[in-house]
Amino acid sequence: MKFKKFIVILVSLLCFIGLAVTLSIQQSQRADQVLNNNGLSSPYYILSPRKKMTIKHFLTYLDRQNDAHLQVHFKSPYDKRRILIWANYNLKSQPMSKGESRYFSKSDFTGSIPFAVISAQTHDNLVTSQNNKYIKEGRHYYSVIGELKQNSENPNGQTPYYLTAGINQPTGLENIKNFNITIDGINKKDVQQVARFSKATVKTVDYTKSYNRKHGISPTKKFIFATFCVIVAAVDAFIWALLDSVPLRRNYFKNVVLAKLLRSSGMRFLLVDLVLFLLVYGVLPLMMFYSNHEQLFTLLLAVFALQCFTFGMTMLFIKKRKDENNAVTR
């Protein structure tokens, strides 16, 4: 009996670990996609405008018409060394090569002075003065606030530099007709309105699908494995209840209250499964990558609740059957 109980406890632990590992892989791959895609999520839209209009005018319209978190990249088909970026929120930090480096924040776009972030191999228009780096364009010098790490999968390559394109900045005076515009965070209906406003053609890019194909990632397999772990966890709780339906006869604790509580099979199950849940939640993040610990906690808590429900329903069923058998024998 003790060996069987050990097995069901071990299976429960493995289910928690299996789900935690699956979530870690999912979040890690998702983070890699965002980083390799230059901070953009998936899907996003690429507009090729035909209307003459300043970036300032375009961004003013875009920001006024949308409440969502938006990120916009302006990429010239003629000069791929230079990319303009605007966002109405604090962007997720990209992997930087130095500790003092940083990526763009919301305040960088709202000011009147553009800032620059360079790639690992940026050389064009890059100057150094008094140990400070600047991007020099004509008579303008833009302070470099960060340098991206080497990233072989970045679709923009390793040489471009990035400038903020704020509404009140000199870069906002350039014409959108000279750029292909990438918009991230907008829905399909709103992007069609923006396309009509700028007289642009629209292309949808789903980077996740192409990334998964390239790296042999199968979301279906992860989903099947996670579902398998959930089902096994529920079945394990059912078997656990069958094995643990008899209260303890021997008192292992001197404390009267604790002894009475732990004589209950339900309390023993709750205590042991809670320890497993907290153990996995506490240890796995120290060993694996998690971009969102709340998702890990919610996932493990949901499985813990499922096991408690299964165990409790099984115990009620067993008690009901015993009561029926006792009534018949009487």
Contact predicate 83/73, CB 8 Å:
yes
CA-CA distances (angstroms) from residue 151 to 77, 288, 325? 22, 21, 69
Residue 64 scores a pLDDT above 70: yes
Residue 211 scores a pLDDT above 70: no
DSSP assigned state of 133? E
H helical segments located in the chain: 2-36, 55-65, 106-110, 188-198, 207-215, 219-243, 256-263, 265-287, 293-329
At a CB cut-off of 8 Å and minimum separation 6, what does 188 contact? 204
311 CB burial (10 A radius; 0-12, 13-18, 19+): buried
* DSSP codes, 74-121: EE-SS-TTEEEEEESS-PPPPPBSSTT-----HHHHHSSS-EEEE-TT
How would residue 36 be classed by pLDDT, with cut points 50, 70 and 90?
A: low
What is the pLDDT averaged over residues 19-32? 81
Phi-psi category of residue 38: left, alpha or beta, with phi > 0 → left and psi -120 to 50 → alpha: left
The pLDDT value recorded for residue 49 is 94
DSSP assigned state of 329? H
* DSSP codes, 229-272: HHHHHHHHHHHHHHHT-SPP-S---SSHHHHHHHHSHHHHHHHH
Residue 34 scores a pLDDT above 80: no
Separation CA 142–CA 138 (nearest Å):
11
243-253 pLDDT, tens digit per residue, is 876 555 555 55
Contact predicate 265/319, CB 8 Å:
no
Contact predicate 120/198, CB 8 Å:
no
Higher pLDDT, 93 or 85: 85
Q: Model pTM greater than 0.75?
A: no
Residue 241 scores a pLDDT above 60: yes
Q: Which stretch of DSSP H or E encloses residue 183? A: strand 180-184
Separation CA 66–CA 63 (nearest Å):
6
The angle, 0 to 180 degrees and rounded to 10, between the axes of the packed helices 265-287 and 219-243 is 150
How would residue 155 be classed by pLDDT, with cut points 50, 70 and 90?
A: low
* Phi, psi at 328, each rounded to 5°: -70, -40
68-77 pLDDT, tens digit per residue, is 789 999 999 8
* Burial 16-31, CB ≥16 within 10 A → b, else e: bbbbbbbbbebbebbb
92-135 pLDDT, tens digit per residue, is 777 777 667 888 999 999 989 999 999 888 888 899 988 889 99
Side chain identity, residue 72: V
Sheet hosting strand 200-205, strand order edge to edge: 126-129, 132-137, 140-147, 115-118, 161-164, 82-87, 71-75, 180-184, 44-49, 200-205
